[in-house]
Amino acid sequence: MNTLIQDCINSKFSKTPIWLMRQAGRYLPEFRSIREKNQDFIELCLNTKLSSEITIQPINRFGFDAAIIFSDILLVPYALGQQVNFKKNFGPDLNKFDLNILNDVKKEDFLEKLNPVYETVKETKKKLSISNKDTIGFVGAPWTLLLYMLNRKSPKEGNFTIFPKDKYINSILMKLDQFLKIHIEAQIRSGASIIQIFDSWAGLLPEKDLDYFVYKPIKSLVDFIRQRKTISICFPRNINSYKKFVDYVNPDIISIDYNVDPSIIRDTIEIPVQGGLDPKILLQNKEIVRNEVTKYLKTFDKKRYIFNLGHGVLPETNPDMIRYLVDEVRSFNGQ
Ligand code: CP3
């Protein structure tokens, strides 16, 4: 039997599928209680028992149509030999990058370090097997990872310099392409039915640099995923032209941010669309939430649309509002 997302892609409309980026996380008390006892975030991501439990928490509570594996895009730099720490109220903090270390990484060692993630995918798949839901694996896009690896912390808008397209940068991008494919393949082999590619910082680049840093590297991954008969979702956050991105990269599904007008997306893009709702809306009252949810559902009515947000669920979100959101999306379908 197909999942709701597969049906949506094949234009078999029943219900609008819904899942949320960062659906497993700090807004959930059941996550916070595990997190309090596990201070090291990377270690938590590499604890199969706990990460598969965290992955399933929002499914048990809200019945989302897909589970995204509880892990992080920065586990790849970690497995490539760069230390990553998550500091409270600061975000990720990476050690100095060293190309010599990256050049020495062996495929076997990389796979061994990340093996608990693949076990989490298997465990999640097992837990979902009777409920016919998708298991979503993911990677950070090469550009966003390159930025974290060289900037060593979250880039603030305007507070970073774009790298030259020289031999040094090119060799890092080539290595990322190679190891991201290894990571994608292992997640698919373990049971991921969808791979989402997060390019959270695509919007920082000027138009002239997109080809080199965004379109080409992501297309290479999308083609790889397609060869393995797996669904790809791309999220090039805050990019100026989603149309140009889709025309070049041609993923199965495009995930949009909240700054773009959804009716322009609907009128210019043919492929299935995901997301859009501003996560800050979920901090407002129910009437505002209902109006905004209805706006997205009406805009994409009779189109292939997967309900999601324009970025991750904020930690201060009340879980009752997520319950309300899911009920609203489900009842719109029932009309
Ligand atoms: O539920 C899910 O979406 C699955 C798990 C997931 C996490 N991170 C868990 C997480 C996913 C898919 C990610 C992706 C990720 N990680 C991205 C791309 C999406 C985006 O948000 O733009 C990025 C840029 C990262 C890097 C990262 N990880 C940052 C910048 C931070 C710190 C900021 C923050 O929100 O705390 C993290 C930490 C992180 N990743 C947390 C979670 C649940 C919070 C950790 C904590 O409990 O302190």
**Pick from 257, 261, 152, 123: which is nearest to 199 by CA?**
257
Determine the distance separating the centroid of ligand 1 and the alpha carbon of 63, expressed in angstroms: 21
Closest CA to ligand 1's atom 39: 72
Q: Within a 10 A sphere around the Cβ of 228, how many other Cβ atoms?
A: 14
10 pLDDT higher than 60: yes
pTM of the model: 0.97
- pLDDT band for 212, please (50, 70, 90 cuts): very high
Q: Is the beta carbon of 35 within 6 A of some atom in ligand 1?
A: yes
Contact 65, 3 (CB under 8 A): yes
pLDDT of residue 90: 84
283 C-beta neighbours (distance < 10 Å), count? 14
Q: For residue range 175-187, list pLDDT tens digits in order.
A: 999 999 999 999 9
pLDDT tens for each residue of 43-55: 999 999 999 999 9
Task: Give the residue, out of 26, 47, 71, 73, with the most ligand 1 atoms within 8 A of its beta carbon, to mutate for a pocket test.
Answer: 73
pLDDT score, position 87: 86
For the purposes of burial, counting CB atoms within 10 Å of the CB of 264, is it exposed (0-12), middle (13-18) or buried (19 or more)? middle
Q: Measuring CA to CA, which residue among 17, 12, 16 is closest to residue 193?
A: 17
Tell how far the Cα of 312 is from the centroid of ligand 1, in angstroms.
Answer: 8
| Helix extents (H) in 81-215 | 99-104, 107-113, 115-128, 142-151, 167-189, 207-210
Domain ranges of the chain: 4-332
| Average confidence score pLDDT of the chain | 96
Class of domain 4-332 (CATH, top level): alpha beta
Confidence of residue 97 (pLDDT cuts 50, 70, 90): very high
* Residues 232-256, mean pLDDT to the nearest whole number: 98
H/E run at residue 235: strand 231-235
